[in-house]
Amino acid sequence: MKIKLKIWRQKNAKAKGKFVNYTLDDVSPEMSFLEMLDALNSKLILQDDEPVAFEHDCREGICGCCGLYINGRPHGPGEKTTTCELHMRSFKDGQTIVIEPWRAKAFPVIKDLIADRNAFDKIIIAGGFVSVNAGSAPEANSILIKKKNADEAFDSAACIGCGACVAACKNASAMLFISAKISQLTLLNQGKVEAMERVQAMVAKMDELGFGNCTNTYACEAECPKGIKVTNIARMNREFIAAKVS
């Protein structure tokens, strides 16, 4: 395959960025998207050019580092697929692929395709944890949890914090991410003790960091690589209102 690439290049956070065009020949359809970028960087290095900076770690759809905006979609054309799980067979021979970093006030570009997602870490630090002493691990059946709650908490815990929800949202809202973390903890008994403090602290930190609000376009759910549901946002709103009026 011959692939044309239009990639955002930006030297650092303060520099003005621009798109730069590249061409790659002999791209295998079985290459992952990141392997294709590796091949491009090998070519650039041999030409004494600066390689394209992009973030990755596990390359198994687990860590959430690899997020890129590809042809107008977070993580590209695949459904429930991270960038590292995307393969070049999803594209056509001769196609032009436009690659950008996440675009959000709270996710400033560090270099090229790398955005600073530390804002998510700050939200977790604000309240995304259980700090009460839960004691040692109890016998499995000593604390009964409804299967529905356990299943929903497990599904919410699948969020990898990649930021695709923010990138997809026209308001750059982080509410799907926050609501998933709140659901993950609040649905289980150990997390209920701090539920009111947690939701207020995490929402306040979200606002402080410059994320937008949800206007129910469902773009976040549509682009989430782990299929996190917007019903979590409804739960978070209920929790927040209850905390405010209590």
* pLDDT tier at 155, thresholds 50, 70, 90: very high
Q: For residue 80, which of 221, 177, 232 has the smallest C-alpha distance?
A: 221
pLDDT digit string, tens, across residues 189-228:
889 999 999 999 999 999 999 999 999 999 999 999 999 9
CATH, range 3-111 = 3.10.20.30
Intervals of CATH 3.10.20.30 along the chain:
3-111
- For 118-245, CATH number out of 3.30.1490.390, 3.30.70.20, 1.10.1060.10, 3.40.50.170 equals 1.10.1060.10
- Looking at the DSSP assignment, which residues form a beta bridge with residue 76? none
pLDDT tens digits for 113-150? Answer: 999 999 999 999 999 999 977 677 777 777 788 999 99
